[in-house]
């Protein structure tokens, strides 16, 4: 969309000055500025709400797409700490807890 140039803005200012008079133009400009500010704020809130809904839907979609992990079947269970492994060497975490003599 093409924005208004400087010459068009000056023309509209003089036209408003002729139609409304020098006393009313500042009041009208203030009101137009407030309306434009409210529209910009409402637009930003709407965009933020749409973006948050999209991210929420994406998170839900990712959660549904990833399968729930199950415990593997036919595997050896982990040894409790302090017991030695099948290689005959003590568990490293058990060695770290043994005080020095």
Convert the pLDDT of each residue in 3-61 to its tens digit.
Answer: 889 999 899 889 989 998 989 989 998 999 999 999 999 999 999 999 999 999 999 88
- The answer to the question of residue 61 being in a domain is yes
- The answer to the question of residue 54 being in a domain is yes
Confidence of residue 67 (pLDDT cuts 50, 70, 90): low
Q: What is the largest CA-CA distance in the chain?
A: 101
Domain of 61 in residue numbering reads as 22-65
| pLDDT reported for residue 15 | 92
Structure tokens at 38: 């409210």
- The answer to the question of residue 70 being in a domain is no
- The answer to the question of residue 36 being in a domain is yes
Tell me, what DSSP letter sits at residue 72? P
Confidence of residue 65 (pLDDT cuts 50, 70, 90): confident
- The answer to the question of residue 31 being in a domain is yes
Contact by Cβ (8 Å): 16, 25: yes
- The answer to the question of residue 40 being in a domain is yes
Domain count, the chain: 1
């Amino acid at each position: 969309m093409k924005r208004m140039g400087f010459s068009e803005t000056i023309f509209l200012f003089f036209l408003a000055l002729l139609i409304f008079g020098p006393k009313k133009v500042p009041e009208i400009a203030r009101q137009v500025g407030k309306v434009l500010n409210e529209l910009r704020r409402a637009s930003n809130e709407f965009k933020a709400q749409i973006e948050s809904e999209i991210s929420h839907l994406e998170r839900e979609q990712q959660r549904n797409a990833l399968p729930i992990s199950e415990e593997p079947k036919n595997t050896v269970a982990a040894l409790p700490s302090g017991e030695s492994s099948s290689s005959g060497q003590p568990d490293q975490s058990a060695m770290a807890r043994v005080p020095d003599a």
